[in-house]
Amino acid sequence: KQEVTQIPAALSVPEGENLVLNCSFTDSAIYNLQWFRQDPGKGLTSLLLIQSSQREQTSGRLNASLDKSSGRSTLYIAASQPGDSATYLCAVETSYDKVIFGPGTSLSVIP
């Protein structure tokens, strides 16, 4: 059974710092992994999607990596800004067309 975990559960950093969020999954048989951002009272915004054949994806200050064999993904945020404060979720799509979400990391960027 696929399980997805995220560490840390919460993170607080001063503005301008680079940071890394971690996502782990137990079954490497995935189609893809996606990182989302969730803002209070709003839906989920897709940030990056990494197909199983890919190693990383980049969008602006965000870089996500995927290591299927070790069951890990990282989301790197460069030069963090207060506007980056949100909950970040990773989700893996399994072989059964289902998406399993991690519990999320709550990020606070302090001005």
Partner 1 sequence: DTAVSQTPKYLVTQMGNDKSIKCEQNLGHDTMYWYKQDSKKFLKIMFSYNNKELIINETVPNRFSPKSPDKAHLNLHINSLELGDSAVYFCASSQAITGAPNYGYTFGSGTRLTVV
Q: Does 2 bind partner 1 (CB under 8 A)?
A: no
Q: Rounded CA gap, 47 and 85, in Å?
A: 14
State which of positions 12-41 bind partner 1 (CB under 8 A): 31-32, 34, 36, 41
State which of positions 39-58 bind partner 1 (CB under 8 A): 41-46, 49, 51-52
For the chain, the residue count is 111
Closest distance to partner 1 from the beta carbon of 18 (Å): 25
Q: Rounded CA gap, 32 and 78, in Å?
A: 23
Q: Does 97 bind partner 1 (CB under 8 A)?
A: yes
User: What is the Cα gyration radius of the chain?
Assistant: 13
- Note the residues at the interface with partner 1 (CB under 8 A): 31-32, 34, 36, 41-46, 49, 51-52, 87, 89, 91, 93, 96-99, 101, 103-104
